[in-house]
Amino acid sequence: MYVARASGLHQLHPLTKVLTALCLLIAGLTLPGNWTSYCITLLIVFPLSAWGKVFPNLLHIVWIVSLPFAISVLLIQSLFWGAGTPIFEFWLFAPKVEGARYALISLGKIILVMSSFLLFSLTTRPDALMIALKQAGMPSSIAYIIVTTLQIVPSFQRKGATILDAQRSRGLETEGNLWVRARALVPIVLPLALGSLMEVEERAIAIEARAFNSHKAETSLIEIPDTQFQKNFRTVTLVAMPLLMIFGILWRL
């Protein structure tokens, strides 16, 4: 996901970026007003991504991922809205203005969720995030889980493909009607799961031999630059998030 660029946004402390993204997300979902999420996306998230020189990447991914959502939500909510003002009537179809409006509001929230997540993940190196989280007091076991997952997924995808090919070469049908395809599932999933469970012990011994259970504080080769301003900013976002949520709930009561 990470896109290496020389920009001010890339140089910010990873936690500053996580908290900013979360804060924008919560603000967009809780603040009153139907079009708030569009405003936040257009006025804050997009300019920030331009500052980080990843605006084209962000726009591209948001476009690809949100397109099926957009089509689905617009069709379903406008066509099946129930009572309302029709935009036009054609045979059985009478999309409603109110439904289309609701769909656009939902789409704004979807785009905000995606773009604020991407703003963070496009500009933050995963290993820098892990070091920052560990320094902030997260248990190193959680960091281990996240880093290892990111590393082993590609090798598992290869393993899955190998098993699929192997079973096919033994005559397993993976195309045809639903029943044929459904029956192919167990012969593929079982070897994958069993084979990987066998790795567990080896890996456990390997990390225990490297002081995984040590309680001493770890040191890191990579220094993560931080400033007093960013620290203060993070405190502000941490206070702002629960306040935004409380405000959002009270406003709707």
Partner 1 sequence: MFEKIKKDFTTKTLVLIPIAIAINIVVGELVARLKLPIYLDSIGTVLVGAIAGPWAGALTGGLANLIWGLFTPTSAPFFYVAAVIGFMAGLAGKYGAFEGETPYWVSVLVGAVFVFSLTLFVLAFINVNVDETGYATFPSMGELFSRYLLLFIVAILLGGAIGYFLLQKGGYAGLWGLITGVIAAIISAPTAAYVFGGVTGAGTDLLVAAFRASGGGILSSVLAQGSVSDPFDKMLSFMVVWLILKALPARFKAR
Q: Positive or negative, the Cα torsion across 50, 53, 54, 57?
A: positive
How far is the C-alpha of 192 from the C-alpha of 104, rounded, in Å? Answer: 42
Q: Which of 31, 110, 128, 224 is in the footprint of partner 1 by CB under 8 A?
A: 110
Residues 193-222 close enough to bind partner 1 by CB under 8 A: 193-194, 196-201, 203-204, 207-208, 212-213
Residues 6+ apart with CB under 8 A from 213: none
Tell me the two tokens of residue 41: 């996306």
Q: Which of 39, 50, 128, 146 is in the footprint of partner 1 by CB under 8 A?
A: 146
| CB-nearer residue toward partner 1: 214 or 235 | 214
Of 53, 92, 50, 101, the closest CA to residue 73 belongs to 101
Q: Does 164 bind partner 1 (CB under 8 A)?
A: yes
CB 140 within 8 A of CB 134: yes
Closest distance of CB 139 from partner 1, Å? 9
How far is the C-alpha of 3 from the C-alpha of 120, rounded, in Å? Answer: 11
CB 37 within 8 A of CB 108: yes
Q: Which of 53, 101, 125, 159 is in the footprint of partner 1 by CB under 8 A?
A: 159
Q: Does 34 bind partner 1 (CB under 8 A)?
A: no
Report the SS3 class of residue 1: coil
Q: Where on the chain is the footprint of partner 1 (CB under 8 A)?
A: 1, 29, 65, 68-69, 71-73, 75-77, 79-82, 102-103, 105-107, 109-110, 113-114, 117-118, 121, 126, 141-142, 144-146, 148-150, 152-153, 156-157, 159-160, 164, 174, 178, 181-182, 184-186, 188-190, 192-194, 196-201, 203-204, 207-208, 212-213
